[in-house]
Amino acid sequence: MSLFNSMVSFLFAAFFLLHSVSAFVIKRNNPVFDYTTEKIRGVNIGGWLLIENWLNADLFSQFNGMNNGPTDEWGFCETLGKSEAYNQLSKHWSTFFTADEFARIASWGINAVRIPIGYWAFDAENDEPYVQGQEYWLDQAIEWSRNNNMKVWVDLHGAPGSQNGFENSGKTGSIDWQNDGNINRTLQIMSYVVNKYTQDAYKDVVIGIETVNEPLGSALNMDELKEYDLQVYNMISGKSNSVATVVHDAYVDLSEWTYGAISGNMYNLVMDIHRYQLYQSNECSLTYNDHLNSVCDLGDQIEKNPFITITGEWSSTLADCTLWNASESGSAFTGGNSGDISTWTDQYKNAIRLYVETQLDQFERGGGWFYWTAKSGGATWDMGILIDNGIFPQPFTDRKFAPYCS
């Protein structure tokens, strides 16, 4: 890091540490949501204001059979052209989630929703294929949440240049977020988001703004990422004492976040971690008990983390390439992790129920959780389907099985 950057980091650290000392007491008297005493029991509103091919098969099926067909929102809009893309997406926004859907979500016992949205909802440049209109529906969702006594996290899910190269950033491929002035552009967008959603009109509902979703730390300059987070923190804490700055852990070891101003004493700073057990190459070979033990280990990490830690994404989906056909403790798991829950055996349902219960117990050793996602059509990703079939506890504190973790 250059001498100039080192001086900037030092000044940020000094300012924020001083700021946190004076404001820390306010945290415990937060009039909206006190992360130190209350638990988030939430769900993501995925596949709505930012689309992904696996979540939105109805939108992407028109490209079946096309060579190199689109898998992300950039490709969707580029392939269709702005006029047709807007026609299809505006219909999607008005129907995929509605006021009635939010009432149904609240009936589950949900107290907060995390709403992913791409940067292009607020700032789309002429040479980008994206279309706009999402901001109106974000505001509708905030009102629907208010009407159902739910809080909201506004989640910048896609950043200019892509922060991770995944379809959930809006554009797959290269990771250029820290190049070509994209950080500065993101800060300008976040300035708009923060200035709007910390206003009095939203302060009873919006309790968190996420700086950026799932930045891929292994492919980024972590010092630059932390400086960006600090600048967004500065924006938010300077405007509101009730809106948390939500920082994703970037999939790096939590020990890497214990430096300078990024500390457990930061006022209204929340760390978001996402943990799935199906994307790593070794997870296919894990036994069912291995998966449960991994959840127990994660609970230990969450409890020891100096930050208020919330698991902002998780699911009941397991890497089951061999798991459910292998012998485990003398019995074979059968049924298959299919999206069609009608094919599941009772044994399989019980296994998934215990996996869900174990995650709930461990995530609440921290600040709570947001399930991914409220609806998808695929059973293990769809909270509504799991609840309707008795696999996701109702109420959330109900337990069918004894605690797995000691």
Known catalytic residues are: 214, 313
- Which residues have CB under 8 Å from 163's CB, separation 6+? 169, 175, 177, 212, 213, 214, 215, 216, 220
Question: Which parts of 31-124 fold into alpha helices (H)?
Answer: 57-60, 73-80, 82-95, 99-107
Say which DSSP state 67 is in: T
Separation of alpha carbons 36 and 15, rounded Å: 23
Token couple for 145: 């949440």
Separation of alpha carbons 210 and 232, rounded Å: 9
Separation of alpha carbons 87 and 91, rounded Å: 6
Identity at 276, one-letter amino acid code: Y
Report angle CA 168, 169, 175 to the nearest 5 degrees. 125
Q: What is the torsional sign of CA 199, 201, 205, 211?
A: negative
Query: HSE on the CB side for 146, CA within 13 Å?
Result: 13
In DSSP notation, 294-344 reads HHHHHHHHHHH-SSEEEEEE--S-B--TTGGGSEETTEE--S-S-S-GGG-
Separation of alpha carbons 115 and 121, rounded Å: 13
Nearest to 163 by CA among 211, 121, 131, 130: 211
Q: What totals of helices (H) and strands (E) does the chain contain, helices first?
A: 11, 10
Token couple for 253: 């070891």
Nearest to 114 by CA among 179, 205, 231, 6: 205
Nearest to 33 by CA among 147, 152, 123: 152
